[in-house]
Amino acid sequence: MSINKTSQSAGFLSPAEPVCPANLIKLAQGTTAPRVAIARAGAELPMQAAKAGVEAGIMTPIFVGEAADIQAEAAKLDWDISEFTVVDATGEEEAGRKAAELCGSGNADVLMKGQLHTDVFMKTALARDAGLRTGARLVHVFHISPPDGGKPVIVSDAAVNVAPNLETRQESIRAVVKMLNALGNNDPKVAILSATESPIPSVPSAVDARTLQDWAREEFNDLKISGPLALDLILSPNSAAVKGMTDDPVAGYADAVITPDIVSGNTLFKALVYLSGGCAAGLVMGAKTPILLTSRADPPAARLASIALAAILAPKRV
């Protein structure tokens, strides 16, 4: 019997194309277009993202990198970039440093990763002389929306903190609440992920989740937060009803998920994207400006959504 390897390997993958949420673009258009410093901008993907952002009216790019490459990529797109600033820089480290310093000095409002390695990008962003540090822990937050335009879910931390301690996960809670408030949700429901809804000692993440829940209820006025919760109880009202948790204000209706480590966070994010066709807009929060950490695997819709999210959360200029 022959096996179709292609169909076997793709059986769980969603054929749905991610769609940039229209409400994100609309919210971003209601703000002053942020100045986005793009580190090592002279490559196909960052230039395409910048052009889409400019056409949507949600960013003003500052191109940092090899000037000849930036002009060449713009020409490929038939895009006249003469009205925008180009900062010449050679190599990944210099481009990353100059872009970060623009944000740290207040001359740019968002820092965006272009064609350079993530470790170099983050190292230059976090350098003390870049001026981006605030004393807060950095956390990565994804805004993931379904392809049908339904209710999005926020996931943190899926990309930056490998094994976040309680203090870092507290910062994640602050970050997702800030993001939801900025998106117009003033009654956010936050779930803390584990494998069970009981804080049993044999599941450390469940014990931590209850500790975080109790802390957050003291820290925030009237925040609806619940943990530990397994994923079905986070996303499914039916599961919450079957398991007798309809009195829990979060179960089945979570707006945000705090994950216990990078493996669970990254797996959840990729499952929502690859198995459900979700559009994931991602930012690093906790620095002076939002840090837009794009990936070469990001589809155009996700890149545009990330720019829109950064525009919404960027510090407002007077």
How does pLDDT run across 257-269, given as a tens digit for each residue? 999 999 999 999 9
What structural domains does the chain harbor?
Answer: 18-134+287-318 (3.40.50.10950), 138-282 (3.40.718.10)
The share of the chain scoring above pLDDT 70, in percent, equals 96
How does pLDDT run across 187-241, given as a tens digit for each residue? 999 999 999 999 999 999 999 999 999 999 999 988 999 999 999 999 999 999 9
> In this predicted structure, what is the pLDDT of residue 17?
87
pLDDT-wise least confident of 1-10, 15-24, 50-59, 279-288: 1-10
- SS3 state at 221: coil
How does pLDDT run across 12-67, given as a tens digit for each residue? 898 888 999 999 999 999 989 999 999 999 999 999 999 999 999 999 999 999 99
Average of pLDDT values for 80-96? 97
> In this predicted structure, what is the pLDDT of residue 295?
81
If you average pLDDT over every residue of the chain, what do you get?
93
Integer Cα distance of 318 and 210 in angstroms: 41
Integer Cα distance of 165 and 179 in angstroms: 21
> In this predicted structure, what is the pLDDT of residue 10?
62
Average of pLDDT values for 286-296? 91
Contact criterion met (CB below 8 Å) for 48 and 296: no
Contact criterion met (CB below 8 Å) for 283 and 269: no
> In this predicted structure, what is the pLDDT of residue 318?
56
Residues 6+ apart with CB under 8 A from 195: 203, 205, 206, 228, 230
> In this predicted structure, what is the pLDDT of residue 3?
41
Contact criterion met (CB below 8 Å) for 49 and 304: yes
Integer Cα distance of 203 and 183 in angstroms: 34
Q: For residue 43, report the phi and psi dihedrals to the nearest 5 degrees.
A: -150, 165
Integer Cα distance of 226 and 235 in angstroms: 13
Average of pLDDT values for 2-7? 42
